[in-house]
Amino acid sequence: MEGFLNLAWLAPVPPFLAFLAIVLFTNRNKTVSALVAIGGAVISFLLSWPIAFAAFGAEHFGAHPVEGQLFSIPTGNSAIHVGYLVDAPSALMLFMVSFLLVMIFVYASGYMTFPHHLSVADYPLAASQGKDPRYSRFMAYISLFATGMMGLVVSNSLITFFIFWEVMGLCSYLLIGFWYEKASARAASIKAFMTTRVGDVIMLIGMMMLYIYSEPSSLMFSEMLNVHNLEHLAELSMPTNWAVIGGLPIIGIISVLIFFGTIGKSAQFPLHVWLPDAMEGPTPVSAMIHAATMVSAGVFLLIRLYPLYAVTLEAAPAAMQFVAFIGGFTALFAATIAVAQWDIKRVLAYSTISQLGYMVAAIGIGAFPAALFHLLTHAFFKALLFLGSGSVIHGVEHGLHHVHEHSHGHDAHGDEHGHGHHAPALIQRPDGVLNPEDAQDMRNMGGLLERMPRTGWTFIIGGLALSGFPLLTAGFWSKDEILSFAWDGGNTIVFWTLALAAFLTAFYTMRQIGMTFLGAPRTEMAEHTPESVPTMTWPLLLIAPFAIFLGWVGIPGWFGIPNWLEGFLEHHIEYNQFHVAHPHFSFVPLSVSLIVALGGLAVGYMVYGQGLREGEVDPVRKLLGPIWVVFHNKYYIDELYQYTIITFTLLLTNLLYLVDAKWVIDPIVNAVGRFGVWLAQVGAAFDRLIVDGLVNGVAAVTNLFGGWLRNTQDGKVQVYLMVVAVSMMVWLLLRAMPILLTLV
Amino acid sequence: MSEIGIGSLGSILPEIILIVGGLLILLLDMIQNSTTYQRESGRGFMAVAVLFLVVSLVGALLQMLSFGSPTSQGPHVAAYLVDIDPFTSFMKMTIYIGMTLVAIAGGSYMNRYSPRMGRGEFWSLFLFTSMAMGMVVSANNLILLFLSFEFLSISSYILAGYLRNNVRSSEAGLKYFLYGSVASSVMLYGMSLLYGVSGSLNLTEIAQAMAANTDFSIVALPAVLMLMVGLGFKMTLAPFFQWAPDTYDGAPTPVTAYLSTASKAAGFAVTARLLLIGLGAFSVEWVPVLSGLAILTMTVGNLMALRQNSVKRMLAYSSVAQAGYMLMGLVSVVSASQAELSQIDLASLGMNGLNGLLIYLFAYLFTNIGAFMVVMAIEEDSGSHDISAYRGLMQRSPGLALAMLIFLLSLTGIPLTGGFMGKFYVFGAAVQHQYFFLAAAGFINAGIAAGYYLRVVAAMLYEPAVDANGAEIAPKPLNMGMALQLTLAICVLVTLWIGIYPPNFIDLANDASRHLLALRF
Amino acid sequence: MLQGYAFVLILSGIAFILPVAATFMGYLLGPRKPDAIKGDTYESGVETIGDAWVQFRAQYYLIGLIFLIFDVEVIFLFPIALAYRNLSLFGVAATITFVLILILGLLLEWRKGSLEWQ
């Protein structure tokens, strides 16, 4: 079984082969493409779980991670060793990622029906198949995406980690803009790409510094993260006297720079803006990007490099305070926005940002196991929620479709309505603009639990897990652990921030459940919503148990149950020689997490328990007034960026354009160009008269020699032999003559 | 050194297999009566020959794999007369691969054109030739070296003149024979000089004796010169190349294909062993000789190829020129600034010249066999070697044209082909060892060579097909046998493989070359 | 020892130079008055009869070659016969193989009709 771990490098391979197969061969056939993609994910899953469980089952696994090299790429004095690494965190990630990928792939195969924003006339074939016209392409993209994530998990060096990281970046760009007919999707994909790129560039600088200052220079995790190197980094300080970073140890700078990668990838403030917009992509993509894989990759980066951060915590506390601050702030900040959103996926998006903030904050205060634990549980229940919301949207769209067909049947003059592409009248409300045909707006839903029970109940399970419903759900235990770390470590501000965020989380989750599933249907389309197809609901049913039971592996020791996760990670921590505090039992965090979870749910149920009545304005809007509006408009951050950074950039661009094209550069270039042309003419003349003559002359002479030499080859053997004899004699004589002369 | 016994024959098992195969074919040929002769197509002989060649190729491969890490052990000496080491195995492998390819691709051609009664003899001679090459590259004793060298030459004379009814073929065989016998006898003088001063036939012992007394350098040069006449004849070095164009042109194309590759490779292997081991201490003497020969060879070969209209003859001259590039590798074993061979730190040199030569030989083998096979296909189709027969080949048979394109590019030395890797390593070694004039001559010649290779490319790709009178005709497709197609595919793939992903071959060549260089004492 | 080689070199040098010099001197000094008799083929004073190009039967050489091969075989077998008592089993086997190969050759010649005088 142990030897099986050496196959870890194979995990990213099947999805990649699936990607190639779809792109090259099966792209004409949508069903086969889906099967190939799912097959790739399943094979990868079948490889990953045995690996993961072999790791879980191994004695003291953390103390002997499996590492291997596949090949090396020589680079000057050193070499990039490409290989794989399975240690405790990556085993846990393999467990989570491979399973969720299979679920998402299956779900996607059912979800990617013919989208409503396309016209049937343009894509008759796809419409008749009832599938998205670029169904196969979608399958190929998500397979590549899966490759990126699996590869990232088993990478053994920061280089390969970063390569797979960027593969995912590319895929997220392609997938968010998948429905590129929609302007919003195009914009969102570019926004996601550009925003994460900002983080990545800064991260790359950090990586370079890490490489340069490491002893020996290496980006292999095993070499880079050993204690000696980290202590060496901690002792160095910046060779500058700049105000802010002058005295800081190098390690602090590196930590913060690399952390920017996480800020971009895991959508932390201030680079969080791309994630809500990324909801423009198909929902399986949202589930994959925002729950299971990509945003987790950001946190996984921190977990992977935790030995570095652990040393930073002691050597440069300010750097880690920055991390904790960003995380805590994001957690609360995003939670407040989520309270005032109507789009079912946007609520989840902000919720994701908020929960990632939790994990980042946990890293910032040194709660390494808690962060990893929350990463795992969150991936499951957030994937569940995203897939559930996708199912809801899908259902409501079907309902909308049904309503249209229905009205057509009654309306004799229905032609003027076209195919349901008429723009519906927007309703201005105090709690935001409402499009009555928007299938994602929760105000258009209500009472869906009866219409779609599977989706509804699994969504509620996921929601309870997200809110941290006490004792039972996964979310409670992982959140509780973060809170107890914060309390135990004396990070009171972080603790209370996170507690408040947890309260808001429970509140907006209940709000979402209430608005969507409880109460009575508020629109006609909600009334006609059907349950989704089995390929979509079965993944939900399969993920739901994890949203509950997975938390039980990390129940703190003082409950009398052995804390399996802590035990599993303990050896990893020992092996990497860093220290993690064991939070002592305290009633404060436990009771606080009980109170905030139950309180938030209770308040939420009181306000939204029966949904809203048709046309009723959000009660919280009435309570909070303008503050709600600020929440609703996401603190105007997008506008702020629009009017500061983007405007400034555009202005600068225009200015530079003028400098370039009108005032300075172009005139110079043109003048140089004219001079160049003149020079070229002179050169051409020179070329024609002298060089060409020379070249032709050489060619002619060469040819002449060839012809002349050819005459020596007259076909007579006696002549040939004469040549041999003569050349040998001449040769011998040349050599022999001096000897003869010396002897004479 | 161990007792001579059955066990020691294991080292030359591939060669024994070939002998047995050759004798078996003779036996099979003998037991037929005059009626079965009439029906005999030669295919059975060809199958037996290919089988035995493949078996001995596998044997050579196994031998090579059995060495493990290089230089960890001395040469495996069998029967006092042969060295079996990575270098030998590499050369054997190269040669057997070449012979196998030629047998597969050219077999049906030979069967069709050879005299009715002589098909069995052809194939047994073919195996004997292969065996002789295997022996000549492993011999470390002057007698065995000369005997196998002669065996190789004599069977090659017969094979070159095999098409008895074809005047050109007979002429080719005769010229080859006359020239070869003179060259061999001169070489024998050289060997006798060596034996005379050292009192030994064993190369290592010769080297020891020569090193013990530097006065012997007076003899070393004449010996080298005389040896180089015989060896240069085999390697087609100027000025001993003049038989080559006539023989290559007249001999049956499959025979030409192996004469220009495997046989030449054997010549280079013998030269490398003789000079590096036997006369390693006198590199001062032979380096100028060899570099002069290299420059002369490549220049003369290229210049004469320039004006050829027969593609087969052009390839013959080009093969002379290529021998010049290869010789550069042998020269560049010794650094220009450090005259003493023993001062070279082997481990520090990525390009030790010899490995360049080996890579070059290996890549050239596939390229040139492929090119000659294309020539053969065209010849069977149109009966002509003239460049006009290649016009419009792209329309007639795109596969064949592309294969030829790749071979010609490889011969030119364009990157991503095997020929480039060979040139790269050889030129690189020359530069590394500061033979700048040599490298410069090589570069100039490579430029000239592109001219005549690309002429064929242009004819294939851009010019319309013509008939014998030069009138344009509609391109008609060209038929090729399966075996030929297979061989061409293998040649193309390996040529590209070496060019695109060479590490495997470079490792092999490194092992082989380091071993030979470490052997010199 | 090397002195001896020097003499070889000197001798070969002289051997090369002398005839060249003599021919060249003759060419330089001798008067040239060619007539029919002078230009005729010199055959030891005997008048030439018929064509100088006479065909021999190729078979003659063939038989000669085959004879040579077996002659050489016998030469190889003599030392083996002399040392027979000291030979190992391997040596005997090698000798037998050698003879067998030659017998195979003889049979082949026979079979192919090379021994028949046509």
Whether A2 has a pLDDT exceeding 60, the answer reads no
Distance from CA of B204 to the nearest CA of A (A): 26
Radius of gyration of chain A (CA): 33
Cβ neighbors of A27 (< 8 A, separation 6 or more) are A33, A136, A137, A140
Of C1, C6, C108, the CB nearest to B30: C108
pLDDT tens digit string along A151-169? 998 888 888 898 898 888 8
Half-sphere exposure of C58 (CA within 13 A, CB side): 1
Q: Cα–Cα–Cα angle for A68, A74, A79, nearest 5°?
A: 55
Nearest to B366 by CA among B240, B262, B460, B253: B262
pLDDT tens digit string along A318-361? 888 888 888 999 998 888 888 888 888 888 888 888 999 989 99
DSSP per-residue codes, B195-259: HHHH--SBHHHHHHHHHH-GGGHHHHHHHHHHHHHHHHHHHT-TTS-THHHHHHHHS-HHHHHHH
Mutate one of A710, A719, A726, A732 to test the B interface: name it (highest B CB count within 10 A): A710
Of B26, B29, B215, the CB nearest to C2: B215
A729 chain-C contacts, CB cut-off 8 A: 16
Phi, psi (deg, nearest 5) at residue B21: -60, -45
Q: What is the pLDDT of residue B294?
A: 92
DSSP A469: -
Of B178, B300, B306, the CB nearest to A703: B306
Q: What is the pLDDT of residue B373?
A: 93
Tokens 């370079």, located at residue: A208
Task: Decide if B30 and C1 are in contact by the 8 Å CB cutoff.
Answer: no
Picking from A209-223, B91-105, B137-151, B192-206, which range would have the lowest pLDDT averaged per residue? Answer: A209-223
Task: Decide if A713 and B245 are in contact by the 8 Å CB cutoff.
Answer: yes
Whether B208 has a pLDDT exceeding 60, the answer reads yes
- The mean per-residue pLDDT over the stretch C111-118 comes to 78
pLDDT tens digit string along A537-571? 888 888 888 888 888 887 777 776 777 888 888 88
* pLDDT band with cut points at 50, 70 and 90 for residue A186: confident
Question: What letter represents residue B472's amino acid?
Answer: E
Q: Supply the mean pLDDT for chain A.
A: 82
Interface residue C9 vs chain A (CB under 8 A): yes
* pLDDT band with cut points at 50, 70 and 90 for residue A424: low
Q: Do A173 and A189 contact (CB within 8 A), yes or no? A: yes
Interface residue B252 vs chain A (CB under 8 A): no
Q: Do B233 and B243 contact (CB within 8 A), yes or no? A: yes
pLDDT tens digit string along B106-115? 888 888 888 7
A707 chain-B contacts, CB cut-off 8 A: 307
How many contacts (CB atoms, under 8 Å) link A and C? 16
Q: What is the pLDDT of residue B339?
A: 46
Nearest to B247 by CA among B159, B333, B324: B159
Q: Do A5 and A54 contact (CB within 8 A), yes or no? A: yes
H, E, C per residue of A248-275:
CEHHHHHHHHHHHHHHHHCCCCCCCCHH
* pLDDT band with cut points at 50, 70 and 90 for residue A247: low
Task: Decide if C6 and A743 are in contact by the 8 Å CB cutoff.
Answer: yes
Q: What is the pLDDT of residue A86?
A: 86
Q: Cα–Cα–Cα angle for A385, A391, A394, nearest 5°?
A: 140
Distance from CA of C13 to the nearest CA of A (A): 7
Task: Decide if C6 and A733 are in contact by the 8 Å CB cutoff.
Answer: no
- Chains in contact with B, counting 3 or more C-beta pairs less than 8 Å apart as contact: A, C
* B147, B215, B216, B276 from B198: Cα distances, Å: 20, 12, 9, 16
Task: Decide if A717 and B243 are in contact by the 8 Å CB cutoff.
Answer: yes
Whether A416 has a pLDDT exceeding 70, the answer reads no
Distance from CA of C107 to the nearest CA of B (A): 8
Tokens 């989706």, located at residue: A455
Cβ neighbors of A23 (< 8 A, separation 6 or more) are A140
B118 chain-C contacts, CB cut-off 8 A: none
- The mean per-residue pLDDT over the stretch C70-87 comes to 86
CA distance A199 to A197: 5
Residue B244 or B64, more confident? B244
pLDDT tens digit string along B325-364? 999 988 888 766 554 544 455 544 567 788 889 999 999 9
Task: Decide if B4 and C2 are in contact by the 8 Å CB cutoff.
Answer: no
How many contacts (CB atoms, under 8 Å) link A and B? 59
Task: Decide if A724 and B225 are in contact by the 8 Å CB cutoff.
Answer: no
Task: Decide if A709 and B300 are in contact by the 8 Å CB cutoff.
Answer: yes
- Over the range A565-575, which residues count as b (16 or more CB within 10 Å of their CB) and which as e? bbebbbbbbeb
Distance from CA of A721 to the nearest CA of C (A): 17
Contacts of A674-677 with CB under 8 Å at 24 or more apart are: none
How much of chain B, in percent, has pLDDT values that exceed 90? 34
Is residue A86 classed as helix, strand or coil in its secondary structure?
strand
DSSP per-residue codes, A138-160: HHHHHHHHHHHHHHHHHB-BHHH
B26 chain-C contacts, CB cut-off 8 A: 104, 108
Task: Decide if A729 and C6 are in contact by the 8 Å CB cutoff.
Answer: no
pLDDT tens digit string along B253-293? 999 999 999 999 999 999 998 988 888 877 777 888 888 89
What are the boundaries of each domain within chain C? Answer: 2-112
Q: What is the pLDDT of residue B72?
A: 46
CB atoms near residue C78 (< 10 Å): 9
Please name the residues between 23 and 52 in chain B that touch chain C, using a CB distance below 8 Å.
Answer: 23, 26-27, 29-30
Nearest to B346 by CA among B230, B520, B229: B520
Q: Give the dihedral of Cα atoms A99, A100, A103, A105; nearest 10 deg.
A: -110
Q: What residue in C sits closest to A726 (Cα-Cα)?
A: C16
Kind and range of the H or E element at B76?
A: strand B76-78
| Mean pLDDT comparison of A415-429, B36-50, B81-95, C25-39, highest-scoring range | B81-95
Task: Decide if B222 and A727 are in contact by the 8 Å CB cutoff.
Answer: no
A721 chain-B contacts, CB cut-off 8 A: 178-179, 182
C90 chain-B contacts, CB cut-off 8 A: 4-6
pTM greater than 0.80 (yes/no): no
Q: What residue in A sits closest to B308 (Cα-Cα)?
A: A710
Interface residue B307 vs chain A (CB under 8 A): yes
Q: Taking an 8 Å Cβ-Cβ cutoff, which residues of chain C contact chain B?
A: 1-2, 5-6, 9, 88, 90, 101, 104, 107-108, 111-112
Distance from CA of C70 to the nearest CA of A (A): 32
Q: What is the pLDDT of residue A646?
A: 78
Task: Decide if A702 and B303 are in contact by the 8 Å CB cutoff.
Answer: yes
Whether B319 has a pLDDT exceeding 90, the answer reads yes
CA distance A369 to A326: 19
Task: Decide if B219 and C2 are in contact by the 8 Å CB cutoff.
Answer: yes
Q: What is the pLDDT of residue B57?
A: 92
Task: Decide if A721 and B305 are in contact by the 8 Å CB cutoff.
Answer: no
* A494, A520, B327, B402 from A350: Cα distances, Å: 19, 26, 72, 59
| Mean pLDDT comparison of A44-48, A526-530, B96-100, highest-scoring range | B96-100
C2 chain-B contacts, CB cut-off 8 A: 215-216, 218-219
C1 chain-B contacts, CB cut-off 8 A: 197
Distance from CA of C111 to the nearest CA of B (A): 6
DSSP per-residue codes, A375-401: HHHHHHHHHHHHHHHHHHHHHHHHHHH
CA distance A490 to A473: 26
B160 chain-A contacts, CB cut-off 8 A: none
pLDDT tens digit string along B420-479? 889 988 988 888 888 888 888 998 888 888 888 988 888 888 888 877 676 777 777 888
Q: What is the pLDDT of residue B265?
A: 94
Is residue A616 classed as helix, strand or coil in its secondary structure?
coil
- The mean per-residue pLDDT over the stretch C25-54 comes to 77
- Chains in contact with C, counting 3 or more C-beta pairs less than 8 Å apart as contact: A, B
Distance from CA of A261 to the nearest CA of B (A): 35
Task: Decide if C2 and B218 are in contact by the 8 Å CB cutoff.
Answer: yes
* A180, A276, A277, A387, A564 from A185: Cα distances, Å: 6, 12, 8, 19, 43
Nearest to A262 by CA among A362, A125, A344: A362
CA distance A379 to B193: 85
Contacts of B377-381 with CB under 8 Å at 24 or more apart are: B377/B478, B377/B480, B377/B484, B378/B311, B378/B478, B379/B253, B379/B312, B380/B109, B381/B478, B381/B479
Cβ neighbors of A203 (< 8 A, separation 6 or more) are A162, A257, A258, A260, A261, A262, A264
Interface residue B222 vs chain A (CB under 8 A): yes
CB atoms near residue A725 (< 10 Å): 13
Whether A584 has a pLDDT exceeding 60, the answer reads yes
Q: What residue in B sits closest to C91 (Cα-Cα)?
A: B5
Tokens 């300075």, located at residue: A664
Q: What is the pLDDT of residue A418?
A: 43
DSSP C50: S
Of B4, B27, B196, the CB nearest to C90: B4
Distance from CA of C23 to the nearest CA of A (A): 17
Cβ neighbors of C74 (< 8 A, separation 6 or more) are none
Is residue A625 classed as helix, strand or coil in its secondary structure?
coil
Task: Decide if C104 and B197 are in contact by the 8 Å CB cutoff.
Answer: no
Is residue C38 classed as helix, strand or coil in its secondary structure?
coil
Task: Decide if B226 and A739 are in contact by the 8 Å CB cutoff.
Answer: no
CA distance A730 to B6: 49
Task: Decide if A728 and B226 are in contact by the 8 Å CB cutoff.
Answer: yes
For residue B374, the Cα-to-chain-centroid distance in whole angstroms is 18
Could you tell me which CATH number the domain at C2-112 has? 1.20.58
Cβ neighbors of B192 (< 8 A, separation 6 or more) are none
Q: Do B64 and B510 contact (CB within 8 A), yes or no? A: no
DSSP per-residue codes, A113-142: B--TTS-TTT-HHHHHHTB-TTHHHHHHHH
Cβ neighbors of B100 (< 8 A, separation 6 or more) are B50, B53, B54, B57
Q: What is the pLDDT of residue B71?
A: 47
Task: Decide if A733 and C13 are in contact by the 8 Å CB cutoff.
Answer: yes
Say yes or no: ipTM exceeds 0.85: no
Assigned token pair, A591: 């009771």
- The mean per-residue pLDDT over the stretch A701-710 comes to 77
CA distance B340 to B281: 7
Tokens 């149950």, located at residue: A561
